Amino acid sequence: MTQSPATPLPPPTERRRLREAGSLTQAQVAERVGVSRRTVRAWETGRAAPSGREGEAYLDLLRTLEEQREDQERSADVDVTEHHTAAGIEGESGTATATEGNDGLAGDAAADPTGPRPGRPLTPAQAFDALYAFCAPALVRQTYLLTGRRELARESVERAFEIAWQRWPEVARDPDPAGWVRATAYDFALSPWHRFRPRYRHPEPPPADTADRLLLDVLLDLTPSQRRTLLLYDGVGLDLPETAAETEATTPAAANRILTARAAVATRMPTLADPDDLHRRLAELASAERLRASAAPAVREGGERRARFWTRAAIAFTVALIGTTALTLRTAPTRYEPPVPPGATVHGVPPPVAPGPLSHKEQKLRDKLRSEPHAGPERLAPQPF
């Protein structure tokens, strides 16, 4: 009968931190210990406790990882870029294989690269570049599975990092900057306004492999919320509460979306009914495209140019608004002028009659008046009888 390890295990959060510091994914830890990836996830979230031979192997692995972390802390001159390269995060080459499991999708679900590092403190640009190198390659592949469009995936990730650079003080203090950028990229990628853009009205070439093409079609047939939840849970490897929080849904709603999405995938692809097989196939599909992200300095410069453009546009709009207001004040009347009421029809007044031809009686009167002498003082003189 196996017993639990005599030495107490570290807390669940420390287990995950040691794994991430040792540059291991959940799938790699599961392979070394001899359990499934779901079991490792339960150990790191505290839903289950390691025991037996697997618990002893897990404890030995954690001890090794802790020793490696202490060795890294002693070397204060380790370059940050080399640290992330050694972390096993797949870079721009996109050569992650299916046996590596988590590396194809969950590169940005690991530890915070902007956290404290041994040696001299990082500048904001260096910290941003480290976060970008840590998250961008895997995030581009995730966004491709979310949209089925390569250019839109790259644009969404670059746009998310541009916003992150514009709000870097806020992002740098966030407990999970990788999650912050991931949520922003997903929101931009799933925006319904892309359908009105000319370049996105026509579909892109599908994957060359038939199985990959079928899996991508199944994913795109899901609703955006189901697709996003399935990708976070079965692709990235977040647990259910984290998935619900990132999708802004309740835990039962997130669980229902996952079950519905899995059932839809299993209906058309029965070989992917097992979540582990689905996770492996998602990683294979994401890694097969070999998507590349732009360089971090170019993204920072793009974010700065966009910020300058909108700043100048806001200034121009403000100046135009001030000029319009000043012109209105200059030309507006200074006193009240009552409006002229509209004309009204007056009833009872005969309409004016134009002069017409004289009648016979009127003509005789006119002739008589003309024949008599004009009025004058001589008519007032007395006449003798």
Distance of CA 183 to the CA centre of its chain: 7
Average pLDDT value for residue range 206-224: 89
pLDDT confidence of residue 182 = 93
Q: Which stretches within 103-176 are classed as H helix?
A: 124-147, 150-166, 168-172
pLDDT confidence of residue 104 = 59
Burial bucket for residue 380 (CB in 10 Å: 0-12, 13-18, 19+): exposed
pLDDT confidence of residue 73 = 61
User: Bigger pLDDT: 351 or 109?
Assistant: 351
* Global confidence as pTM: 0.59
Task: Determine the number of helices (DSSP H) and then strands (DSSP E) in the chain.
Answer: 16, 0
Q: Is residue 159 scored above 70 in pLDDT?
A: yes
- Just give the CATH number of 1-74: 1.10.260.40
Find out whether 61 and 29 touch, Cβ atoms under 8 Å: yes
Lowest mean pLDDT among 3-17, 142-156, 169-183, 348-362: 3-17
Find out whether 261 and 230 touch, Cβ atoms under 8 Å: yes
User: Bigger pLDDT: 313 or 195?
Assistant: 313
Q: Is residue 337 scored above 50 in pLDDT?
A: yes
Q: Is residue 74 scored above 80 in pLDDT?
A: no
Q: Is residue 375 scored above 50 in pLDDT?
A: yes
Percent helix, strand and coil across the chain, each to the nearest 5: 65, 0, 35
Per-residue pLDDT tens for 223-253?
Answer: 999 999 999 998 888 888 889 999 989 999 9
Number of other CB atoms surrounding residue 148 within 10 Å: 18
Closest C-alpha to 102, from 116, 83, 88: 88
pLDDT confidence of residue 322 = 96
Give the type of residue at 105: L
Q: Which helix (H) or strand (E) holds 280?
A: helix 275-288
pLDDT confidence of residue 185 = 92
pLDDT confidence of residue 226 = 93
pLDDT confidence of residue 180 = 92
Delimiting residues of CATH 1.10.260.40 domain(s) in the chain: 1-74
Average pLDDT value for residue range 274-297: 85
